[in-house]
């Protein structure tokens, strides 16, 4: 694997594992410099806040989770999900997350393994100190999975980010790939 290919594979982890496990090919992903992420995606992706809060602010209310797949390997939980706006169950994010359960108190672990709520909501509920650090931004043409998840009628360019979440002591809590649906500047509650 070339250094660029390796870097692109890393930025799609852990989503790429779900594609591999079901025998699908990942779409061709292109890294994008943060300054070149176009609006309105820039406001939703280029920041150091958790996406749950960001999406709730943008779309005017609570966000829920639809679980697509989940895998557990020791203290690691991986899940592939769609985040939905509660008001109308509109998909507002698709992605995958790998969570280190050993980094959380038992009550938070219970909430996480139930796979009913976004991690951001659980972090806030359990008052888990955390920091979000986007490590890369990317774009790609929609593929069969994203066209299905977002109910797209035509091929389109999608934007996303790869993010690491840390606790206050710099321990990695989670690694996440977050992909947004097509969003018009006027999209809001």
Quick check: 134 and 162 in contact, CB under 8 A? Answer: yes
CA distance 133 to 73: 24
Residue 186 domain-assigned? no
Residue 53 domain-assigned? yes
Residue 171 domain-assigned? yes
Residue 185 domain-assigned? no
Residue 71 domain-assigned? yes
Tell me the pLDDT of the chain averaged across its residues. Answer: 91
User: Could you read off the pLDDT of 165-186 as tens digits, one per residue?
Assistant: 999 888 999 999 999 999 976 5
CATH of residue 98's domain is 3.40.1410.10
Domain range enclosing 75: 3-179
**Number of domains the chain is built from:** 1
User: Could you read off the pLDDT of 100-158 as tens digits, one per residue?
Assistant: 999 999 999 999 999 999 999 999 999 999 999 999 999 999 999 999 999 999 999 99
Q: What is the mean pLDDT of residues 46-52?
A: 92
Residue 22 domain-assigned? yes
Residue 187 domain-assigned? no
**Neighbour-count burial of 180, counting CB atoms closer than 10 A to its CB (0-12 exposed, 13-18 middle, 19+ buried):** buried
């Amino acid at each position: 694997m070339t250094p660029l290919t390796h870097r692109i594979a890393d930025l799609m982890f852990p989503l790429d594992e779900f594609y591999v496990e079901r025998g699908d090919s990942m779409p061709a992903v292109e890294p994008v410099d943060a300054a070149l992420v176009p609006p309105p995606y820039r406001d939703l992706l280029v920041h150091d806040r958790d996406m749950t809060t960001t999406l709730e602010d943008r779309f005017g209310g609570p966000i829920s989770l639809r679980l697509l797949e989940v895998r557990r390997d020791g203290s690691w939980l991986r899940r592939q999900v769609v985040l939905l706006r509660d008001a109308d169950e509109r998909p507002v994010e698709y992605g995958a997350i790998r969570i280190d359960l050993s980094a959380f108190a038992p009550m938070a672990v219970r909430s996480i393994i139930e796979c009913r709520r976004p991690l951001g909501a659980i972090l806030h509920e359990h008052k888990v100190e955390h920091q979000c650090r986007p490590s890369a931004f990317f774009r790609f043409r929609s593929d069969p999975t994203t066209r299905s998840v977002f109910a797209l009628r035509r091929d389109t360019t999608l934007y996303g980010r790869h993010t690491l979440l840390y606790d206050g002591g710099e321990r990695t809590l989670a690694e996440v790939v977050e992909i947004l649906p097509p969003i018009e500047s006027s999209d809001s509650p």
